[in-house]
Amino acid sequence: MSITEEIKHLKKEKNAVILAHYYVADEVQEIADYIGDSYYLSKAAQKTAADIIVFCGVKFMGESAAILNPEKKVLMPDLTADCAMAHMVQLEKIREMRETYEDLAVVCYINSTAEIKTYSDVCVTSANAVKIVRNLPNQNIFFIPDGNLGRYVAEQVPEKHIIFNDGYCPIHAAMSAEAVKREKEKHPEAKFLVHPECTGDLLKLADYIGSTSGIIDFAAEDDGKEYIIGTESGVLYELKKQNPDKTFYTLTENQICTDMKLITPEKVLQVLKEEINEVKVPEKVRIQAGAPLEKMLMLAR
Ligand code: 13P
Ligand code: SF4
C-alpha cells in the first residue's frame, strides 16, 4: 500500500480528518481533506464531525483547534513546528497598556501562543482583523503580536487609536520593496498580491492585500495573467492548481517558512497510526484562551 492509500484507510477506520495550511509542502496539501488560511481552518476544525483532527501546520494552529474542540483528539505531525512570531509579546507590556488605557481592547492575532491569548480580549486572523477592530466598541486597541498587521489595520480603521507591538514574521518581514520593483520591471503586466504581514513599503506597491485565501481568491477571479506573490511560497500549489493558464512569480527563492515544511506525509501517517503528538492544553488555559477565539468566530461571521 502507498503512503496515501494507508492514510486514506486509517482516516476511514479512525474517523479522522486532515487539515492543512496553504504553507505546508505540496505533497501534504495533496493528502489533506481541508486546506485553507488560519480563519478557514479554525472554522473547519469546529465544524467537523471527526473524532481525530490531524493538523498540518504550526503549533498555534493545532493549539487553537484543540482549544475550540476539547472533545476531539488533535494530533500534530511535528510538535516542534512553531511560528516565531507567536512568542513576540512581553506580557509586562500588556499589563502596562491595560493600566494606561481604561477602555483598552487587547486584539490578538491568532499567530500567538495559547498563553498570550489568555491575556487578550479578542483574537483575529489576517482575513477578519479589519472587520473585527472596526466593530469593537473600544477606542484604544493594543494589537499583538504583529506590528505590520497592526499598522495595516490602523490604516484601514483610522478612527481607532491602535498601539503597535514590535513582533513580526521573519519570512514576510524579509521581503523587500526593492525586490518587488525589480520583479515589476521584469514583468510589467504582473499584479502584486501581498500578505499584510509584510512591511508597509511593500503594501504601498500592492494591487491586492489579503490573507492567503484572499490572495488565492483574488488571482482566481481577476482577469490578469501574471502575478507577483508576496507571501510564503506554499500558496503557489493552490494558485497553480486553480489557474493553470496564469503565471506566478515570487520575490526570491527563499520565501519559505521552514517550520511549515517540517510536516511530511510520512509524519502524517505515523501520527495517524500511533495516535501520538496529541496537542494538550491545560484546562484553565483552554478556557481562558478559548474565550477570545470564540469571540473572533462570532464577530467575524
Ligand atoms: P493566513 O491566515 O493568511 O493563512 O496567514 C497565516 C500565516 O501564518 C501567515 O504567515
Ligand atoms: Fe509564523 Fe511567519 Fe511561518 Fe506564518 S510564515 S507561520 S507568521 S513564521
- List, for residues 86-104, the tens digit of each pLDDT value: 999 999 999 999 999 999 9
Q: Determine the Cα–Cα distance for residues 128 and 141; give it in Å rounded to an integer.
A: 15
Residue nearest to atom 3 of ligand 1 (CA): 211
Class of domain 3-82+260-281: alpha beta
Domain borders along the chain are 3-82+260-281, 85-168+289-299, 175-250
Q: What integer pLDDT is reported at residue 21 of this predicted model? A: 98
Backbone torsions φ then ψ of 210, nearest 5 degrees: -175, 180
Which CATH fold would you assign to the domain 85-168+289-299?
A: Rossmann fold (3.40.50)
Q: What integer pLDDT is reported at residue 174 of this predicted model? A: 98
Kindly give the parts of the chain with pLDDT less than 70. none
How remote is the CA of residue 102 from the centroid of ligand 1, in Å?
A: 31
Asked if domains 85-168+289-299 and 175-250 share a fold, the reply is yes
- Per-residue pLDDT of 103-132, as tens digits, reads 999 999 999 999 999 999 999 999 999 999
**For the chain, what is the mean pLDDT?**
97
Q: What integer pLDDT is reported at residue 271 of this predicted model? A: 98
- By most ligand atoms within 8 Å of CB, the mutation choice from 58, 83, 212 for ligand 1 is 212
Specify burial of residue 99 (Cβ count, 10 A radius: 0-12, 13-18, 19+): exposed
pLDDT more than 90, % of the chain:
99
Q: Which CATH superfamily is domain 175-250 in?
A: NadA-like (3.40.50.10800)
- Per-residue pLDDT of 173-192, as tens digits, reads 999 999 999 999 999 999 99
Q: Which residues contact ligand 2 via a Cβ below 6 A?
A: 58, 83-85, 111, 169, 171-172, 197, 232, 257, 259-260
